Amino acid sequence: MSAEAETKKRKIKLTIPEEEIMSPGHLACQGCGGALAMRYALKALGRKTIMAIPACCWSVIDGPFPYSAAGIPIHHSAFETAASTASGISHALSQLGQDDVTALAWAGDGGTFDIGIQALSGAAERGDNIIYIVYDNEAYMNTGIQRSSATPHGAWTTTTPVKHYKRGPKKNIIEIMVAHHIPYCATANIAYPEDLIRKVKKAKEIKGTKFLHIHSPCPPGWKYPPNITIKVARLATETNAFPLYEVESGVYKINKKRKNPKPVSEYLKLQGRFRHLTEEEIEYIQGEVNKNWRRLLKLEEVFGEPLE
Amino acid sequence: MSDKKEYPEVIDIKSADDMPPMPVSLGSMRTNKTASWRSIRPVIIEEKCKLCMICWKYCPEPAIVPTCPPTIDYDYCKGCGICIEECPFDAIVSEKEGK
Amino acid sequence: MKKVLTGNFAAAYGAAAARVKIIPAYPITPQTTIVEIMSEIVADGLLDADFVKVESEHSALAACIGAQATGARTFTATSAQGLALMHEMLHWAARDRLPIVLANVNRAMAPGWSIWADVTDSIAQRDTGWMQMYCENNQEVFDTILMSYKIGENEDVLLPTLVNLDAFFLSHTSQIVDMYEQKKIDKFLPPYRPKLKLDVNDPRAFGALTSPEHYYEFSYKMQIAHQRAKEVIREVGKEFSETFGREYGLTENYRCDDAEIILVSYGTIAGTTKDAIDRMRDKGISVGLLKIRYFRPFPEKEVCQILGRAEKVGVIDRAVSFGHEGPFFSEIKASMYGSNVPLYGFITGLGGRDVSISNIESMVSHMQDNEPSNLIWIGVKK
């Protein structure tokens, strides 16, 4: 290599692990947030990971029999069984003496907020040693964009058409998981891969049930061109619509605070699923975003330190 | 990164005897070259590239390798355009596929 | 070592003797004492296993599947509503070819709420791909659990087994059970070592999207496994008798060889039928019992061979397939297509109604005095 090329190579600083575990050739849509989420999670966890995937986009993205893209062992399972399957895997790993292998449940919002919430709650209450990651594209995308309880207020989906758009807030899944007294809950965003990877690595080192909620934009479902996936994801956090925070054994820590958060309309206006909203409706959403942010700040204020 | 690219064999199942008892994967999705999904292709302009690797970081496939400059693997690039959008130095341009 | 055990305890101790590693279980009457005793055995350190206190039966079987796929031997137990709730995962376990063993306490399906014996719950799972068998007594429960692991884990089989025992008549009734020596059991049933499992050193995806191109062949292979399982059941039954002194097959022939009338039954009714047969034989009636142990895979060879020689056959079902007839009766009739033997289909004992020796005797006199018919309700108040 020439001196110039050497210098050039030394300049390269990778901010996330270099090794690719997931292979290309998978079936994710162009610009898929869920594909990026998996790529980052695998970089954080490494090859000693066994994953339970319920019905969700990744059931298809990984590829049909006889192929797989993920690069680690996967057990596909029924829709509501991400957490229960992962619990079984984690117990078997422990009984077989494979304590260095991570049991991971990888589910979409449908399989987490809705049909899978019982199994998730059960596993969390038992404190089963699993990492549960939900990549949230805010609807049942794999079956063609039907609403879930993670669909935000105002969104169009095929089951909440424009005249009956989804009313009511998303379930606050982090609060639900915090109520289970698990050691680690966190939100993450594919636009902030260093933060996401740090959180997954942190979860790996903790024993018990760990829960991560990844914001995962979807071009066909949210109705935007695939090249702005990262831009849309970033705006979610820059507008406080999707704050980045961790709750470690009940202690709240907000990871990113902007002095002047961007108006939520900047986030909404990029997505066709919100195109029908009037100015008043957007103002209402802004009000809800502000309220939730203030509430989160208060939680950090009150629960920012461990209680005696 | 080796110069020689390895493509796993396409798995050809001729009979039930060739199959495992349950559906379990026998090979990699690398056999599926998603190049055909593209309608535009990203092209890196070497002179403008500052080696920040943001394109590599945000590729969902991944179809970019962190060399200097980064190498786009056109066998898999789906043409989503994220790298073009995210490059802070406008060092990646969009070209129409099938030129 | 002989102990006085209820059917539930026999199931629990059978699983413990099989050295199961993961027990995800959820309580339901009348299975509860199985999970209670298993959690005690584990807590006391008598069994090196994880007892996973799942929050529903659906999760119980899902956890079994995850654990078994990772390479650990698993066991669970349930009944009626719980088994029904597991239905989706029963299909999954079978198609995933995981040799899980599930002790099901046969109980009537609600509504009305009933905790009493009825086999509709397990019959309704007939087509899931599980092997399923019915126990006559607690010794058989203990023995079958051990054999089911050996049979299921056979490379050519790789299928889960539903081991059925009647609510209260077996689950809560004490009988003498020989638990043998653990050393002998360990020799008979070596540790579980599956060829294909979730392994970070050999990463694969299990159960992915399967197109019409391949799904058909997987089903074909599963059927071949069931057919092979019949031979394996016979082989393992023979090996069991050589090791422990009790022989089991797909069916049991009780005084059929010279019988003019042969009754067919399963579960605890089979036990009662044996007593009835002894009584009727004393009165000079030529009658025998073909006890069906395995409903899946279905023993059509034994059925045709033994029932083909009879003058009359009466099948006693503890369930009815609504809109048609007794499930065992249907399948036996289908197996015997082409034979001229008159077949009588008796329905009895639904919802835990007791089936007595005199009930059985009345079935035989009915057969002696009447033309064959498909739906003969015994003991129903009309």
Whether A22 and B62 lie within 8 Å, measured CB to CB: yes
Q: Give the pLDDT score at C13.
A: 98
- Coil, strand or helix at A96: coil
Closest by CA position to C166, among listed C34, C310, C269, C283? C269
C188 Cβ partners below 8 Å, 6+ apart? C146, C150, C239, C240, C243, C244
Indicate if C200 and C261 belong to the same structural domain.
no
Helix (H) or strand (E) holding C292: strand C287-292
Confidence band of B4 (pLDDT split at 50, 70, 90): very low
Average pLDDT, chain A: 96
Q: Does B2 or C242 have the greater pLDDT score?
A: C242
Indicate if C255 and C210 belong to the same structural domain.
no
A9, A15, A33 ranked by CB distance to B57: nearest = A15
Indicate if C299 and C350 belong to the same structural domain.
yes
Whether the per-residue pLDDT at A260 is higher than 70: the answer is: yes
Average pLDDT, chain B: 92
Nearest Cα of chain C lies from the Cα of A191 at a distance, in angstroms, of 28
Nearest Cα of chain C lies from the Cα of A84 at a distance, in angstroms, of 5
Q: How far is C136 from A51, CA to CA, in rounded Å?
A: 41
- The neighbouring-strand residues paired with A52 are A75, A105
Indicate if C167 and C42 belong to the same structural domain.
yes
Nearest Cα of chain B lies from the Cα of A79 at a distance, in angstroms, of 18
Domain annotation covers residue C337 = yes
Mutate one of B15, B22, B28, B29 to test the C interface: name it (highest C CB count within 10 A). Answer: B22
The tokens 């009305």 sit on which residue? Answer: C112
Whether the per-residue pLDDT at A2 is higher than 90: the answer is: no
CATH code of the domain containing B75? 3.30.70.20
Closest by CA position to A93, among listed A62, A45, A51, A132? A51
Indicate if C197 and C310 belong to the same structural domain.
no
C-alpha distances in angstroms, C264 versus A25, B98, C320, C368? 57, 73, 15, 16
CATH code of the domain containing C80? 3.40.50.970
**Count of domains forming chain C:** 2
Confidence band of B98 (pLDDT split at 50, 70, 90): confident
Domain annotation covers residue B2 = no
Whether C68 and A73 lie within 8 Å, measured CB to CB: no
Mean pLDDT of A269-294: 98
Q: Give the pLDDT score at A307.
A: 87
Q: State pLDDT tens for residues A136-154.
A: 999 999 999 999 999 999 9
CB-based contact (8 Å) between B10 and chain A? no
Q: State pLDDT tens for residues B62-80.
A: 999 999 999 999 999 999 9
Tell me which of C244, C273, C291 is where a domain ends.
C244
CB-based contact (8 Å) between C199 and chain B? no
Indicate if C226 and C262 belong to the same structural domain.
no
**Count of domains forming chain B:** 1
Tokens at A137, concatenated: 């594209």
For A129, the closest chain C residue by CA position comes to C52
Nearest Cα of chain B lies from the Cα of C59 at a distance, in angstroms, of 22
Indicate if C124 and C73 belong to the same structural domain.
yes
Domain annotation covers residue C112 = yes
CATH code of the domain containing C348? 3.40.50.920
- Coil, strand or helix at C369: helix
Q: Give the pLDDT score at B5.
A: 53
Chain B, 38 to 97: residues with Cβ < 8 Å from chain A are: 51, 53, 56-58, 60-63, 66, 68, 73, 75-76, 78-82, 84-86
Indicate if C232 and C262 belong to the same structural domain.
no
Tokens at C301, concatenated: 């060879």
Q: How many CB atoms lie within 10 A of CB C249?
A: 18
Tell me which of C244, C266, C284 is where a domain ends.
C244
Greatest Cα pair distance in chain A: 64
Indicate if C101 and C217 belong to the same structural domain.
yes
Domain annotation covers residue C338 = yes
Whether B37 and A30 lie within 8 Å, measured CB to CB: yes
Helix (H) or strand (E) holding A9: helix A3-11
C-alpha distances in angstroms, C29 versus C40, C211, C308? 18, 41, 40
C282 Cβ partners below 8 Å, 6+ apart? none
Domain annotation covers residue C117 = yes
Domain annotation covers residue C34 = yes
Contact C91, C66 (CB under 8 A): no
Q: For the CA atoms of B25, B29, B30, B35, what is the dihedral angle to 10 degrees? A: 160
Q: Give the pLDDT score at B3.
A: 40
Domains assigned to chain A: 24-303 (3.40.50.970)
Count of alpha carbons within 13 angstroms of residue A119, beta-carbon side: 32
CB pairs under 8 A between A and C: 161
Domain annotation covers residue B42 = yes
Q: Give the pLDDT score at B6.
A: 57
Q: State pLDDT tens for residues C16-55.
A: 999 999 999 999 999 999 999 999 999 999 999 999 999 9
Confidence band of B2 (pLDDT split at 50, 70, 90): very low
| ipTM surpasses 0.90 | yes
Q: How far apart are the first and last CA of chain A?
A: 60
Chain C, 39 to 58: residues with Cβ < 8 Å from chain A are: 48-50, 52-56, 58
Lowest mean pLDDT among A12-16, A44-48, A297-301, B81-85: A12-16
Mean pLDDT of A259-284: 97
Domain annotation covers residue C326 = yes
Mutate one of A57, A227, A229 to test the B interface: name it (highest B CB count within 10 A). Answer: A227
Domain annotation covers residue C134 = yes
Residue C338 sits in which domain range?
251-377
Residue B79 sits in which domain range?
33-96
Nearest Cα of chain A lies from the Cα of B84 at a distance, in angstroms, of 8
Q: For the CA atoms of C276, C279, C281, C285, what is the dihedral angle to 10 degrees? A: -70
Whether B25 and C96 lie within 8 Å, measured CB to CB: no
Chain B, 13 to 32: residues with Cβ < 8 Å from chain A are: 13, 23-32
pTM for the complete prediction? 0.96
Chain C, 66 to 105: residues with Cβ < 8 Å from chain B are: 95-97
Contacts of C196 in chain B (CB under 8 A): 20-22, 24
Mutate one of B17, B18, B24, B28 to test the C interface: name it (highest C CB count within 10 A). Answer: B24
Q: Which parts of chain C have pLDDT scores under 50?
A: none
Whether C206 and B22 lie within 8 Å, measured CB to CB: yes
Contacts of B25 in chain C (CB under 8 A): 204-206, 208
Confidence band of B1 (pLDDT split at 50, 70, 90): very low
Indicate if C72 and C111 belong to the same structural domain.
yes
Domain annotation covers residue C382 = no
The vertex-C222 CA angle with C219 and C225, nearest 5°, equals 155
What are the backbone angles phi and psi of residue C162, rounded to the nearest 5°? -100, 115
Indicate if C217 and C309 belong to the same structural domain.
no
Indicate if C171 and C274 belong to the same structural domain.
no
For B24, the closest chain C residue by CA position comes to C206
CB-based contact (8 Å) between A23 and chain B? yes
Whether B21 and C221 lie within 8 Å, measured CB to CB: yes
Q: What is the CA radius of gyration of chain B?
A: 17
CB-based contact (8 Å) between C210 and chain B? yes
Tell me which of C205, C222, C244 is where a domain ends.
C244
Whether A85 and C65 lie within 8 Å, measured CB to CB: yes
Q: State pLDDT tens for residues C248-284.
A: 999 999 999 999 999 999 999 999 999 999 999 999 9
Q: For the CA atoms of C43, C45, C47, C51, what is the dihedral angle to 10 degrees? A: 30
